[in-house]
């Protein structure tokens, strides 16, 4: 199964006000493992960046003067996401901006769903954690994903963090180490990698993944606990976030 975790940074919050994409970051998952392949581009938006947006991502218009425009990178981008499942936090925002860029250049297939399917992890998180904060920052804390190297928002580092969060939300069966180099930043340096879940203490699990032999007690759930568990599974199924049921 091939999935692409995607994030964008923009000049502002609304396509209706003519705001544009200035950064796209994607990382690839195959069978729930990071492959080390990514897609990362900064883009010249040909317009000013809102002060509030610049405070969030730290990218100025001057930083982008020599960067390509969206039509120059679109074929590489669409080839990277082709036939994948896109994993996006607050998908309507990013998809809306991507589709606006495709429409502005009069692309013959301007809908993202013409190229890939879309999974919104914000909708998933709200189903799993109703009434709680479900921003990417909040989810990193909840699932113990180390975001300490993320000083500001960036499309590539945020997509990597979201990959770890998604894997944790959907069962945690994943290789959470990032033994691959990051893509070059605009200044030519290598961007830092977010770390995954906190490593297990010595003795819990070896690097090879084999667990020590331990006699663990088996505690059966009470009837009330089993009913609560079934109710939660029903809620997840209703939200569309269920990934383990097979027809």
Residue 226 is predicted with a pLDDT of 73
Q: What span, in angstroms and rounded, lies between the C-alpha atoms of 214 and 33?
A: 28
Contact 81, 29 (CB under 8 A): no
pLDDT digits (tens, 9 = 90+) for 76-131: 999 999 999 999 999 999 999 999 999 999 999 999 999 999 999 999 999 999 99
Strand 2-10 to strand 21-30: parallel, antiparallel, or no bridges (unpaired)? antiparallel
Residue listed under structure tokens 């109703």? 130
Candidates 1.10.150.120, 3.30.420.10, 1.10.8.60, 3.30.1490.20; CATH matching 2-201: 3.30.420.10
- Residues classed as catalytic: 153
Q: What span, in angstroms and rounded, lies between the C-alpha atoms of 123 and 95?
A: 14
3-state secondary structure of 170: coil
Contact 86, 159 (CB under 8 A): no
Q: Mean pLDDT over residues 140-168, rounded?
A: 91
> Where does 82-193 have alpha helices with state H?
91-104, 121-128, 136-142, 155-169
Q: Residues with Cβ < 8 Å from 149, sequence gap 6 or more?
A: 157, 192, 193, 194, 195
Beta bridge partners of 42: 23
Q: What span, in angstroms and rounded, lies between the C-alpha atoms of 134 and 73?
A: 32
Residue 239 is predicted with a pLDDT of 65
Please spell the DSSP secondary structure of 197-219, one letter per residue.
Answer: BPPPPTTT--TTSPPPP------
pLDDT digits (tens, 9 = 90+) for 177-234: 444 344 444 443 334 333 333 333 333 333 333 334 445 555 777 777 777 777 777 7
Is the per-residue pLDDT at 235 higher than 60? yes
What angle do helix axes 155-169 and 121-128 make, rounded to 10 degrees? 40
Residue 25 is predicted with a pLDDT of 98
pLDDT digits (tens, 9 = 90+) for 23-70: 999 999 999 999 999 999 999 999 999 999 999 899 999 999 999 999
Q: What span, in angstroms and rounded, lies between the C-alpha atoms of 134 and 128?
A: 10
Contact 22, 43 (CB under 8 A): yes
- Looking at every residue in the chain, the average pLDDT score rounds to 82
């Amino acid at each position: 199964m091939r999935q692409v975790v995607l994030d964008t940074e923009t000049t502002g919050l609304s396509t209706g006000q003519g705001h544009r994409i200035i950064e796209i970051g994607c990382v690839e998952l195959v069978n729930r493992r990071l492959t080390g392949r990514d897609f990362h581009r900064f883009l010249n938006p040909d317009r000013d960046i809102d002060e509030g947006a610049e405070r969030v991502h730290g990218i100025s218009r001057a930083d982008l003067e020599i960067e390509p425009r969206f039509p120059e990178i679109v074929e590489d981008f669409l080839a990277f996401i082709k036939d994948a499942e896109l994993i996006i936090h607050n998908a309507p925002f990013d998809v809306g901006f991507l589709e606006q860029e495709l429409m502005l250049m009069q692309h013959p297939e301007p809908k993202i769903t013409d190229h890939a399917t879309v999974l919104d992890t914000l909708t998933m998180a709200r189903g799993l954690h109703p009434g709680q904060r479900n921003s990417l920052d909040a989810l990193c804390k909840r699932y113990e994903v180390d975001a300490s190297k993320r000083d500001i928002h960036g499309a590539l580092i945020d997509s990597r963090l979201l990959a770890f969060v998604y894997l944790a939300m959907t069962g945690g069966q994943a290789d959470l180490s990032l033994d691959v180099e990051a893509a070059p930043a605009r200044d030519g340096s290598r961007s830092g990698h977010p770390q995954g879940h906190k490593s297990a203490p010595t003795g819990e699990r070896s690097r090879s993944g084999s667990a020590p032999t331990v006699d663990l007690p088996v505690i059966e759930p009470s009837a009330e606990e089993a009913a609560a568990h079934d109710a939660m599974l029903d809620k997840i199924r209703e939200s569309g976030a269920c990934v383990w049921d097979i027809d």
